[in-house]
Amino acid sequence: MKKHIVCLGDSNTHGYCADPADCADGGNRFNEEERWTCLLQKALGDDYLVLEEGLGGRTSVFTDPLHEGMDALNVAYPILMSHEPVDLLIIMLGTNDTKERFSANAAAIAAGMERLIKKCKDTECWGAHKPNILVVCPPPLGDGFHDEVMGKGCVEKSKALAPFLKAVAERNSVHYLDAKDCEFNPVDFTHLTKKGHAQLARLLANAIPGWTA
């Protein structure tokens, strides 16, 4: 059986494209030749199966009063069990947790990630091996970011998140990667560009073989 890599994330895992001019198809989602998940599949080869579980607006644990089913905590079990056995779970969340309506600072967002990690570790999806999880800190929101629905303080919280997530990863003995250098677009200062998707795929492709040996 191929090694199953589950990518649990938000719109940057789903492949949302904020600038249609940056997408080959001119739409609002990068295609299978552009998304980091698909590029990762190509780089890793036929011994792996990369499974996309990206949803725009997804949080780690916070229940969104505007949209149902957005918190990863309550969908982690069915997602992981539907892809068992899981060889590696990649979690790239945190951007949507910065929304003003959740009233969570960077430390609280990281605490939510820790709760999610523990739930995923306890899910019976890992087959004969130990839980294997990678936490990816998403690129922080850019200084030009403005979204009235997301509210105030998002940029500051996203910029403060990396050290808290790294500490949570170390405390829970899971892998950690910071995607801060992956390019995001100057349209909404939130979403990865085509180049950013390629950069993230390369970072992951270089690390994953050593984590799934």
pLDDT digits (tens, 9 = 90+) for 96-146: 999 999 999 999 999 999 999 999 999 999 999 999 999 999 999 999 999
- Return d(Cα 150, Cα 101) in angstroms, integer: 7
* Whether residue 213 has pLDDT greater than 90: no
Give the Cβ contact number of residue 131 at 10 Å.
Answer: 19
Q: In which element (H, E) is residue 49 found?
A: strand 48-54
* Burial of 202 (C-beta count, 10 Å sphere; 0-12/13-18/19+): middle
pLDDT of residue 144: 92
Domain limits of the chain?
3-211
SS3 56: coil
What is the value of pTM for the model shown? 0.97
Residue type, 46: D
What does CATH list as the number for 3-211? 3.40.50.1110
